Amino acid sequence: MGEFVVRGGKRLNGTVRINGAKNAALPILAATVLATEPVILHDVPDLRDIHVMIAVLRSLGMTVEKAGRDVFVDPRTLNSYVVPAELMQEMRASIFLLGPLLAKLGAAEATQPGGCAIGDRPIDLHLYGLTSLGATVHDEGGRTVLRAKKLVGNEVHFPFPSVGATENVLMAAALAEGETRIRNAAMEPEIVDLAQFLERLGATVRGAGTPDIRISGASMLKGAEHTVIGDRIEAATFVLSTAAVGGDITVKNCLVDHLPGLWGRLQEIGVMVEEIDADTVHIVSEGRFKPIPVSVATAPYPGFATDCQPQFMSFLLAVPGVHLVTERVFENRLGHAAQLRRMGAQIIADQRVALIYGGHPLHGAYVTAPDLRAGAALVIGALKAEGESVIAGREIIERGYEQLDVRLSALGANIQAR
């Protein structure tokens, strides 16, 4: 298992450009199945999950070439609807292929996906949405098999605004007959980016970014060229790292409107936040704060992002006062609390709620990343801590952060991968 070695206490200064969003690129790669002509994608991050998705597409017969941050996909050689079990277990995002394969080939087959252990994430809402469009579902030897002679538009009303289920239905509906209406749809920016990609293919999508999305199905979708949006969670991680340890950084390709709730809280605590333009933000922090209690609860977009909660908790350790963090999206996403306590953090946590006693010094320790975003939180804690920390599970962190050690080092951090 790989590790990050961090020697804390270094301020961060300079400029960092945010990469394309993994959580936008993965469903967009899945959506290339729907096209009948080649697709070119720009600013695709160079991450393990991306490589797994490319391997899945190739296993289905498609031609995929990656050159730097550009990906060329030719879907015309698609010849299979079975997602290999071993690849499905490597990455939860493989589930995004159910909708496109069902719409394109009339069938899709996969096992329960793998991914980070941050709570129960069943695929029942995915299946509910796809069966609402006319699919049938049954199990064959532990594999989920979906079939449909024809998908027909319908109203799909989700009991919870699931991002993945919204994206799966959105993709399937793009080739369904008639209009599909998704009620209580997830509103994340990554869904808007997917909808814009589908429109470039020739689909008609209205309302993406609202709880009410309407899709008019097309008989055929063509090829397109598309640039993936910047990764808002990566942006928040660099911002919160700087806020915690102190520094002065400019963050480029950061769509400021994609992180509601973050900027105001940072300003209230004493971090200077200057919006240079729509995708550039300037952050200045002294790393020392007046005592102030902070309370934050995660919620579906535009609420406070659950993917930012662990990193924000690490930042709160630098803020004197008693803080409350409530996790309302996943029931098991406070695993980083126990690891941060190894660094001296004063945190009382159960599965959903954590009390953080901020303003106390942290010290270096050996810790293990329980999941992707928790791993990022441990990096922030280590950057703030006195002495040396070793963070095991580097591969888990690198599922969502490309060359994190190199980019933080460029800003002045003392961090090495090994």
293 is in an annotated binding site: no
329 is in an annotated binding site: yes
Task: Return all residues near 93 (Cβ < 8 A) that are at least 6 apart.
Answer: 26, 27, 30, 49, 53, 113, 115, 164
22 is in an annotated binding site: yes
Type of residue numbered 93: A
CB 369 within 8 A of CB 3: no
DSSP-derived secondary structure for 13-25: EEEEEPPBPHHHH
As given in the structure block, the two tokens for residue 241 are: 């790292």
CB 312 within 8 A of CB 319: no
CA atoms in the 13 A half-sphere facing the CB of 20: 22
328 is in an annotated binding site: no
18 is in an annotated binding site: no
43 is in an annotated binding site: no
CA distance 209 to 194: 11
Q: Is 116 a catalytic residue?
A: yes
CA distance 411 to 414: 9
139 is in an annotated binding site: no
122 is in an annotated binding site: yes
CA distance 238 to 328: 24
As given in the structure block, the two tokens for residue 151 are: 């998908």
168 is in an annotated binding site: no
Type of residue numbered 378: L
Catalytic residue among 24, 28, 33, 116: 116
7 is in an annotated binding site: no
Q: How many CB atoms lie within 10 A of CB 264?
A: 10
With 0-12 CB in 10 A as exposed, 13-18 as middle and 19+ as buried, what is 184?
A: middle
Side-by-side strand order, sheet with 155-157:
155-157, 179-183, 212-216, 204-206
Residues tagged in the binding site annotation for phosphoenolpyruvate: 22-23
Residues tagged in the binding site annotation for UDP-N-acetyl-alpha-D-glucosamine: 92, 121-125, 307, 329
Active-site residues: which are they?
A: 116
